[in-house]
Amino acid sequence: MPRSADVVGESTGQTSLLIRRIVAYVVLVALVIISLLPFWLLIVNATRGKVQTGLEFWFGGSLGGNFKVLFSDNNQTRYGSILASFGNSFLISGLSCALSVYFSALTAYAIHVYDFKLKKVAYTFILLVMMVPSQASAIGFYRFMIKLGLTDSLIPLIVPAIAAPSTFFFMKQYMDSSLPLEIVEAARIDGCGEFRTFNSIVLPILKPAFAVQGIFTFVSSWNNYFMPRLILSTKRTIPLVLQSMKSDIQGNPQAAHAGAMNLYMVLAILPVIVVYLILSKYIIRGIALGAVKG
Partner 1 sequence: MKKKSISYAKWGYIFLIPFFVVYCIFALVPLVQTFYYSFIEYYVDTGTVSIFNPDGNIVDNGFCGFANFKEAVTGKGHFFSCLGNTVILWLIGFIPQIFFSLLLAVWFTDIRLKLKAQGFFKTVIYLPNIVMASALGLLFYSLFINNGPLDSVLGGLTDKPSLMDTIWGARGIAGFINFMMWYGNTTILLMAAIMGIDTSLYESAQIDGATPTQTFWKITIPLIKPILAFVLITSMIGGLQMFDVPTFIAGDAGYPQGKMQTLVMVIQTGKDSSVGLVGAISVMIFIITAILGFLTLKVMNDDGSGKKKKKKPAKG
Within positions 114 to 133, which residues make up the interface with partner 1, using CB under 8 A? 114-120, 122-124, 126-133
Taking the C-alpha atoms of residue 269 and residue 276, their distance in angstroms, rounded to an integer, is 11
Q: Which helix (H) or strand (E) holds 83?
A: helix 82-113
Nearer to partner 1, 15 or 135 (CB): 135
Which listed residue (9, 12, 19, 36) binds partner 1 by CB under 8 A?
Answer: 36
**Contacting range for partner 1; rule: CB under 8 A; set: 3-11, 68-76, 80-88, 201-209:** 3-11
Region class of 191: left (phi > 0), else alpha (psi between -120 and 50), else beta? left
C-beta separation of 240 from 149 below 8 A: no
Nearer to partner 1, 74 or 185 (CB): 185
Radius of gyration, alpha carbons of the chain: 25
Is residue 288 a contact residue for partner 1 (CB under 8 A)? yes
Q: Please tell me the count of residues contacting partner 1 according to CB under 8 A.
A: 118
First CA to last CA distance, the chain: 27
Pick out residues in 60-99 that bind partner 1 (CB under 8 A): none
Which listed residue (31, 83, 186, 255) binds partner 1 by CB under 8 A?
Answer: 31
Nearer to partner 1, 74 or 144 (CB): 144
- Smallest gap from Cβ 66 to partner 1, in A, equals 14
Q: Which helix (H) or strand (E) holds 189?
A: helix 181-189
